[in-house]
Structure 1
Amino acid sequence: MSLAFCGNDNNSAAYNVDTGVLNNGCFLDALTVVPHVFLLFITFPILFIGWGSQSSKVHIHHSTWLHFPGHNLRWILTFILLFIIVCEIAEGIVSDGFNQSVHLHLYMPSCLAFMAAITSIVFYHNIETSNFPKLLMTLLIYWVLAFVSKTIKFFKYTEHGIGLRQLRFGITGLLMLLYGLLLAVEINVILRRRYMCFAHPTEVKPPEDLQDLGVRFLQPFVNLLSKSTYWWMNTFITAAHRRPIDLKVIGKLPIAMRALTNYLKLSEAFEAQKRPQGTLLQGPKCIWTALRQAFGRPLFLSITYRFMADLLGFAGPLCISGIVHHLSKENHTIQPPHLGIYFISSQEFLANAYVLAVLLFFALLLQRTFLQASYYVAIETGINLRGAIQTKIFNKIMHLCTANMSMGGMTVGQICNLVAVDTNQLMWFFFLCPNLFAMPVQRFGFLFS
């Protein structure tokens, strides 16, 4: 079977532009190639040839110290963009199966878009670590071109009566939205950093932790991908294979994870419980309220991660059921509604066993990622809580009168229980607290399966 960008099953119709270039589906897909080719052509020489001269602009020993505004949002949007582009590639391949010849325009632009999305995030990461934001102008132009091309394609589909029943219409709308959001993130960086169109750019200082050569725990400072996969720990892992590591190799903890910092945070939460008369509220309610104010936000984040991981657990049985149910079925021919292109619906797309297998893989990958993130946040919060309470108990003991000890008001055993046993119980409660919210979902999943 011969290859052709627009197909060769009906040559007179495939390249017919009598009604306008943009009214031909093949040329409409070709229009979306322009932004991706622009980005690949511009960034490859910078990434592989000219980046050595820019890396000298980093003035501290860590390359991960600087995060531009909207850092995490950009990474999340890029992950979603990559997933939607993979769906677009799969949709093009599935719909091309209904044609008499191979139509490369159904999935080749999507493949270039996938390469461009990966290049954009690699390019951004190198710009961020070298603190050279002027090169973000390339990404700004790319987001504008990609947003405009997807907008034209979306409105042309609407003009020809293509709606939500066709999967490609929904994918095009989502891509238009994502490119628009990434463009908004890029504009936000310009307004916050003021690296162009302003006389005085905003100076950014590195975090205090990374100015200390002894701090090697980089989890709070790396990008979102390295943070979710713990890629930055490869240095410790390889060093541990060669020789046993000690505290000097591990280094000091960041300021936010030290016992004194968490003690001050807990003390502020207790001070917030004071009545207008200046007296502190008493009882368990006061203690739990202070703990919630001091450490409730990361605990809620851990619960959210665990809840999302348990919800993704339903994807496995659903995908396997769909694969078994649709594996023996044959696809039916779909009539091309407009623009000379075969459009498929979401139901027909999800009826493909290969598509369900890929969705199953992504669901399991996300499930394990969210589950690991939930464990990490819960364990880190529990350890910080224990350090804060132990410091507060130790500070209280130092202010106790010796008469309390000599008259049996507070024994050494009670103090040891408070410092060692009771704080560990609170720490383990924070470790296992996400499981309390996961039990109903897991129970429903057990009944569902």
Structure 2
Amino acid sequence: MAVSDTWEWYCGVNSTDIEDSQSLTKENVLGSPCLVDGLDTLAHLVFVICALLLLLVFKCTHYNNGDTKFLLRFPGHELRCIFLIASLILLAGSIGEGILTDATYDSPTQPHLYLPQCGAILGTIAAMACYQHMEMWLQAGYILWVVLLYWICAFTTQTVRLLNLQYLDLGSVEIARFDFTLALMVVYGVLILLDINAIRSKVCHCCQAPEDQEAASDMKLKNMRYIRRFANLLSELTFWWLNWLPILGYKRPIVVEDLGKIPHRHQAREIHEKFKIAYQKEKARAEKTGSQPSLWRVYRHVHGVNMLISYSLKLTADTLSYVGPLALDPIVQYVTRIVYGNEEVGYW
């Protein structure tokens, strides 16, 4: 059986590219989109299998700390979750692009146009499971090396695909596959940097942040049920970690003892100390300049970062309210042209 016949189910009409690319020269590899997609799919599937085996081994051995309600977040947890979700969205769009591209051909189907992205979605989900269990088990940070290697392989395969598109004169921002590939390269690059930083902190224990010690002391508090900092980003945004409170309130009236203790950073003593230090600095500044101390400067010093984030999110939410009308205008114009011909009738 010829090589092209073996790969026909995957490559379709491009199966002959595999046979022509066996010399693995630069021109043959870059000129064979099916070969590039095949290597991409293989990398994702290998990682999925390795990740499942590693999680199973850690689950069945003494390396994990058992089930716990706490997650000791790795550095960059929130940013990592955002880019993981962004990668899933991009991969879903890329699958749609591959299916639509395949539908434009009269020849037999070409699964290589969308199967690599399906494998990438499985790999991303497996990586998310690894992060979740590493943060839950607290001492399984060495799995980070495997995840980091996966992101490097994913970045490499996307780079090869980008070169393949350019070799085939498809390297234009007007082509959706090129845009998806470029965006995924950016996402994978950020994930690589985040994992390197996590390995520096959690595996090599180099330059650990003071928040790690504070989090460790919070986890030792008895009846500490305010675990917002020890939940994943989705649980934090949806308040899923607080589900126990309405469930308990549904069963019986809630009393103060049910609320338990709160983390050190939210205790009145800690907040008072921060304001005291900030006010002393502001008072010293005012004495040097001969002005009155500014309470606004004190608030900005203590809660400036959180205030800036809140203002930015509010501005973003208000700006996105214009997306609906702007998106509706071309839809109305398109439907109008279909129904009434070339008559230009816009939403505005």
What's the TM-score, normalizing by structure 1?
0.63
Aligned residue for 1:367? none
- Check if 1:17 corresponds to 2:23: no
Aligned residue for 1:379? none
The answer to whether the Cα contact below 8 Å between 2:38 and 2:116 also exists between their aligned partners in 1 is yes
Identical aligned pairs, as a percentage?
A: 26
- Check if 1:273 corresponds to 2:282: yes
- Check if 1:143 corresponds to 2:143: no
- Check if 1:192 corresponds to 2:208: no
Aligned residue for 1:123? 130
Q: CA deviation at 1:125?
A: 1.0
Q: 1:137 to 1:11 in 2, by over 3 A?
A: closer
| Corresponding letter in the other structure for 2:318 | D
Determine helix, strand or coil for the equivalent of 2:92: helix
Determine helix, strand or coil for the equivalent of 1:220: helix
Q: Take 1:257 and 1:66, find their aligned partners in 2: how far apart are those partners?
A: 18
Q: CA deviation at 1:136?
A: 1.9
1:26-57 residue CA offsets vs partner (Å, 9 max, x unmatched): 22222211221012111223445751435743
The answer to whether the Cα contact below 8 Å between 1:64 and 1:223 also exists between their aligned partners in 2 is no
Q: CA deviation at 1:275?
A: 4.2
Determine helix, strand or coil for the equivalent of 1:214: coil
Aligned residue for 1:102? 109
Aligned residue for 2:253? 244
The answer to whether the Cα contact below 8 Å between 1:274 and 1:280 also exists between their aligned partners in 2 is no
Determine helix, strand or coil for the equivalent of 1:57: coil
Aligned residue for 1:27? 35
- Check if 1:81 corresponds to 2:87: yes
| Corresponding letter in the other structure for 1:5 | Y
Equivalent residue for 1:133, pick from 138, 141, 145 = 141
- Check if 1:71 corresponds to 2:77: yes
Aligned residue for 1:302? 310
Q: CA deviation at 1:313?
A: 2.1
The answer to whether the Cα contact below 8 Å between 1:273 and 1:280 also exists between their aligned partners in 2 is no
The answer to whether the Cα contact below 8 Å between 1:226 and 1:232 also exists between their aligned partners in 2 is yes
Equivalent residue for 2:217, pick from 198, 208, 226 = 208
| Corresponding letter in the other structure for 2:319 | L
1:200-255 residue CA offsets vs partner (Å, 9 max, x unmatched): x99x6553222101321111222222111212112223222222222222112222
Q: 1:27 to 1:329 in 2, by over 3 A?
A: farther
Q: CA deviation at 1:282?
A: 6.5
Q: Take 1:252 and 1:25, find their aligned partners in 2: how far apart are those partners?
A: 58
- Check if 1:225 corresponds to 2:234: yes
Consecutive unaligned residues in structure 1, runs of 5 or more: 331-447
The answer to whether the Cα contact below 8 Å between 1:66 and 1:129 also exists between their aligned partners in 2 is yes
Q: 1:328 to 1:168 in 2, by over 3 A?
A: farther
Consecutive unaligned residues in structure 2, runs of 5 or more: 1-7, 22-26, 339-346
Aligned residue for 2:192? 183
The answer to whether the Cα contact below 8 Å between 2:158 and 2:181 also exists between their aligned partners in 1 is yes
- Check if 1:6 corresponds to 2:15: no
Q: Take 2:285 and 2:87, find their aligned partners in 1: how far apart are those partners?
A: 52
Q: CA deviation at 1:168?
A: 1.0
| Corresponding letter in the other structure for 2:192 | L
1:357-414 residue CA offsets vs partner (Å, 9 max, x unmatched): xxxxxxxxxxxxxxxxxxxxxxxxxxxxxxxxxxxxxxxxxxxxxxxxxxxxxxxxxx
1:158-203 residue CA offsets vs partner (Å, 9 max, x unmatched): 233222221211211121222122122222222333459x9xx99x
- Check if 1:318 corresponds to 2:318: no
Q: CA deviation at 1:304?
A: 0.9
Q: CA deviation at 1:146?
A: 1.0
Aligned residue for 1:114? 121
Q: What root-mean-square deviation, in Å, do the aligned CA atoms of Structure 1 and Structure 2 show?
A: 3.3
Q: Take 2:28 and 2:255, find their aligned partners in 1: how far apart are those partners?
A: 70
Q: Take 1:183 and 1:295, find their aligned partners in 2: how far apart are those partners?
A: 30
Determine helix, strand or coil for the equivalent of 1:192: helix
| Corresponding letter in the other structure for 1:85 | L
